[in-house]
Amino acid sequence: MQSTSQQFFKFISSCYGRFRQGVPILKTFARLYSASVLTLFLFVTQTSLAALPDCSSAAFDTDGDGFGWENNSSCRVSAGSAGNKVSGSSLPVCNSADSDPDGDGFGWENSKSCRVSELLIDGASSSSRKSCLLTSSDPDGDGFGWENNETCVIDSTTGNSGNTSGSGSSDGGQSGNLGGSGSSDGGQSGNLGGSGSSDGAQTGGGSNNGSGNNFTVDNPGGLIRSSTLTPLKERPQDTCLTRQDTLNRNYHGAIRTGDFILATNAWNFSAAGSFEWEQCIYANENGAAVGWNYDWGAGGGSGDYFVRSYPELIYGVKSQGEVSAPKAVTGLPARIDQLPFISIDYSFSSSQYGPNRTVNASNNPRFPNGSIISGERNIAIESFLHPSDASGNCPESVVQRSNGRSNHTYEVMVWLDSGAERLPAGPSDYVTTATLDGAVYNIYTKNSDRKYIAFVAQNPQSSGTLNWTTFIEWSRQYAHRVQQVFGANTNSVRIEDNWCLANILVGTEIFWGAGDLNIVNWQVNQY
């Protein structure tokens, strides 16, 4: 028979658990008074928690509060329990640890309770916890911290926190409405998908060398598949769009070439207002495998903050109707934790010849104030990540885009070249200057879109080899904790292991002006 104290213990534990998983009013009450309730409980029962037997399994703690019910008596989940990680019962996983401001492992999102990944119970020995990466993760100095959605312990391996970011060159730019380029297809993000917790493991079998400011992922060798952009055997092809065409919503003309799709993608043409713009894509012309030219006018005014168009070359799955080749050919979509090492060989030429303008708010040291420019655009490679299906797999159907909306969970972007005025985000969203595979990039997250990261090359190269895995892996390891590591303003969401990398795109985000881009060589290699 249970003792009176055991019965009371079970009653209070049950009530407390109901508080933690209750309606919003009760949830708020529990957050404010949970400490008082537990203190009162301990005083009344005069039962030492240490006197409780250890649960033989964390499974007996169905509400995830660290106390269970086994063999008709109370028990606690501690270091001696089998599997001392508590799942939090049926509560959904929080999308962000920021939803758990008091760091107790339980949060509040979308008007309901959630749990922050797996909560390691306080009764567990410190040796069973991961080492904290930074001392700043332990603000109260008790030797225990909170990082990457779980508890950690401060030990000899923990590094000192602080702002290790480089000086950069984007901090003297224009503030205010500088919102950056945004998503290159204009799609609004859908619900965050995926679950679980990424451990930052290497993709593709490569090894990670260096810190966040000097980062390399080694190519393991052993080519798995390769797709090379080659000129069409048929006669040259081209397709042009104008403002009049888009009045019929025909803004997505495309040309298929090998394992790729060349798409017009004038997704935000309305930003050009009444200007009679024109944009053409072509294959097997001008000495290029593919390319495009455009005239979006002189621009001017607040409209220059918005991307008009992103003509692009698609590899993988961009939407249900834009599948460049079967998955057996591209390997995409693929789970993040199962990605091979991906490298891209490229060569292009580009020119701008729009109306001249004098730069007066430069965000690029290559174009100081007073310079004359004839357009504003970038040349950017990017990938969209999407949630896996219910089985944790990545079929083509995981990519959902419809009526300007997208279910993507993350966007990784690398600007191979940039103009004088525009940044990927506001100047305050600058993270750090880092050397990746020997090249220097300014890195940005975005306060207005926590599913976005951009790397801006500081010494643009029109040809070379880019290890795409390096940028994906840097984002996995650092993007969700740039505040803690680099002193930046905004952490992005964490990239989950079971998310799917759906595509690799290269294109030109055009803000204003006239110009062209000709891609001479483009090869995607997977190892």
| Res 521 pLDDT > 50 | yes
CB 304 within 8 A of CB 384: no
| Res 249 pLDDT > 80 | no
- CATH class, range 188-526: mainly beta
Minimum mean pLDDT range among 56-70, 438-452, 463-477:
56-70
317-337: buried (b, 16+ CB within 10 Å) or exposed (e) per residue? Answer: bbbeebbbbeeeebbbbbbbb
| Res 297 pLDDT > 90 | yes
Q: In this structure, what token pair is assigned to residue 205?
A: 């079998």
**Distance of alpha carbon 518 from alpha carbon 262, whole angstroms:** 12
Task: Identify the helix (H) or strand (E) that includes residue 29.
Answer: helix 24-45
Please give the residue that has the higher pLDDT: either 63 or 513.
Answer: 513
Query: How confident is the model over 457-488, as pLDDT tens digits?
Result: 999 999 999 999 999 999 999 999 999 999 99
| 0.85 exceeded by pTM | no
Per-residue DSSP letter, 217: E
pLDDT grade for 373, boundaries at 50, 70 and 90: very high
| Res 149 pLDDT > 70 | no
Domain boundaries, the chain: 4-117, 188-526
Task: Single out the residue of 166, 171, 139, 144 nearest to residue 155, CA to CA.
Answer: 144
Q: In this structure, what token pair is assigned to residue 134?
A: 């930074």
**Distance of alpha carbon 198 from alpha carbon 50, whole angstroms:** 33
Q: In this structure, what token pair is assigned to residue 460?
A: 């643009």
Per-residue DSSP letter, 402: E
Minimum mean pLDDT range among 217-221, 242-246, 336-340, 403-407:
242-246
